[in-house]
Chains A and B, each alone.
Chain A
């Protein structure tokens, strides 16, 4: 197990190098450092000298991947790519192109993102499981039928409509919660209600249907029939046996997204004015802050890889037959 994890970590470093290469290529293919300087220096009266200085100060005047002017190993180390990416591996994100401390920004903006993503994830899981169980319980009745119809209809609606509609209905017409905004501490609660509800509702269709399929599959298995034949009541069969066994594919399926909850969601955060990492990313793209984009891509990749490792581990935990050599 330990050696497996060590191997995975080495592999992760390899992947992160690849991620960095791709980010670098894509970003500088789009934006020359000149462009970045122009965006940061503003609109009116920008001179070529100021651009040159801006680049020098932030180290963007070096060649990208290969420095012909240097010798030996410095051909590769004295480049933009090497200088800008090596520190990431120590989680030193450095300063953004606007001069802000990225690490500090991330550490403060992570919590609002999590404050929305985590409740959506947990409440969602509970709600979807409840709905799916209800449908499985009443299978082959009108509840199941219309439930599935409702699920398919709901998953066919674009997430944008949930946000726009929810804000209009709950925030404006009913006036129950603030339309948007955020605050620290317990005051955050009233701002979180709406995005969390919308997040949960938006996911009902796809997830409920998925869980229901798993339950129905499980119900049709032989051991369930045996349990029923032994005279166990339907609720007992459902909760004791089916739910327990169906949780394995469900949990292992969702483990991969848990670390990514930190990253927040882009559209929701923009709409509700939540100062999380999702809006941080969008802002960085819009203002062409490469340092932030790179840090966020790196963070996202790290979290994704952690998710993959967690998935593997969760397999061994729930199913003792799985072993990693």
Chain B
């Protein structure tokens, strides 16, 4: 019988087995997530970029004429949006299906959150910081961007529309 290190703190053999199962469970779950994090680059939004939210419309990236969907050289798209009480701007964006997109969003005022039910697009939008989410929309249809962090008395009304279209009809 090999030496079980847990023997020193756990006398009962059945309980010791359970303790091992618990530890292994914790490591396996962490390991699976770690595997996908590294292999599929599946990370939560963590880009750590600052910006002055109080002067957002005077910035270059979040200037009014820079918002919306733009194509990048490698075929992916960048969606530049602003979260401001009480809406997401531009209020309607159209994106082709199965195309890698990078969402860049900043807040013009307070803390917001945005998620799109039916997709895995979600992030917090923190004043002073730029949020970046990389994803791909795999289903066509009409979706909603909903604000999910309390941002004031009008929070309920803060939402906008995302339309995912077939590839041939898509574009800017």
Partners in one complex: no
| Residues of chain B at the chain A interface (Cβ within 8 Å) | none
| Residues of chain A at the chain B interface (Cβ within 8 Å) | none
